[in-house]
Amino acid sequence: MPFAPLLPRQAGHATLRRLRAEDLSAFHAYRQDPLVGRYQGWSPMSVAQAQVFIDEMAQARLFVPGAWAQLAIARADDDALVGDVGLLVAENGEYAEIGVTVAPAAQGQGYGCAGVAAAIALLFEHTDVLRVVGITDARNTASARLLERVGMSRVETRDTVFKGEPCTEWVYARPR
C-alpha cells in the first residue's frame, strides 16, 4: 500500500511525512553525528549515499513485510526535518518494529515522541499487526523514556553484542 494518502500526518507540533530531497543537509548532518548514531543500527553515510537513501524512501511502499521504511519527522510550524522514524512489519505480519532518530538540536522537545506515536497509530490503523516493539540499549535512557511515553512496556531484557560491544538491550512492546 503506498503511503501517499496516509501522509503527511499531523502529530501535535510535529508532522510525520515522507523524506524528500530538501531534507538532505539536515538528514546527513544528524546521521553523521557519532553521539546520535551510537545506539542506532544504521551507519553514517556519504552525502551521495544519503541522497540515494532519501530518494528510495520518498518512493518506498509502507508496510511491506520484511522491509524497513523510513519516514521524516518534521516541525509542524516550518516543515523542517528534525528526525526520522523507521517501520518494519515482520515477515509473518504479526508484529512491527519501530526505531527513531532525532537531531541533537531537537532532542528533548517531544518531536520523537510525537513521531513515534503517529507511526504506531498508522501501523495499527493500516496493518493487522498485534503489537509494535521497540528495542533500545539499556544505556540509552532517553530512548527508553520515549518508548514508555508512547505507551510501550518493557517486556524483555537480553544481553547481546552490538557494534562489537557487549550491552544489555531492553525490548518494549505495545499491544494493539
pLDDT digits (tens, 9 = 90+) for 92-119: 999 999 999 999 999 999 999 999 999 9
pLDDT band at 1 (very low <50, low <70, confident <90, very high): very low
Contact 147, 128 (CB under 8 A): no
| Helix runs in the chain, H state only | 24-32, 34-37, 47-59, 111-126, 141-149
CATH topology for 4-129 is Aminopeptidase (3.40.630)
Give the pLDDT of residue 2: 47
Give the pLDDT of residue 84: 98
Tens of pLDDT along 45-95?
999 999 999 999 999 999 999 999 999 999 999 999 999 999 999 999 999
Give the pLDDT of residue 3: 43
Longest dimension (CA), the chain: 42
Give the pLDDT of residue 4: 46
Radius of gyration of the chain (CA): 15
With H, G, I as helix, E, B as strand and everything else as coil, classify residue 122.
Answer: helix
Give the pLDDT of residue 113: 97
DSSP annotation of 46: -
Give the pLDDT of residue 58: 95
With H, G, I as helix, E, B as strand and everything else as coil, classify residue 133.
Answer: strand
Give the residue extent of every domain in the chain.
4-129
Tens of pLDDT along 121-149?
999 999 999 999 999 999 999 999 999 99
With H, G, I as helix, E, B as strand and everything else as coil, classify residue 130.
Answer: coil
User: Residue 35: CB partners within 8 Å, gap ≥ 6?
Assistant: 104
- Rounded to two decimals, the pTM is 0.93
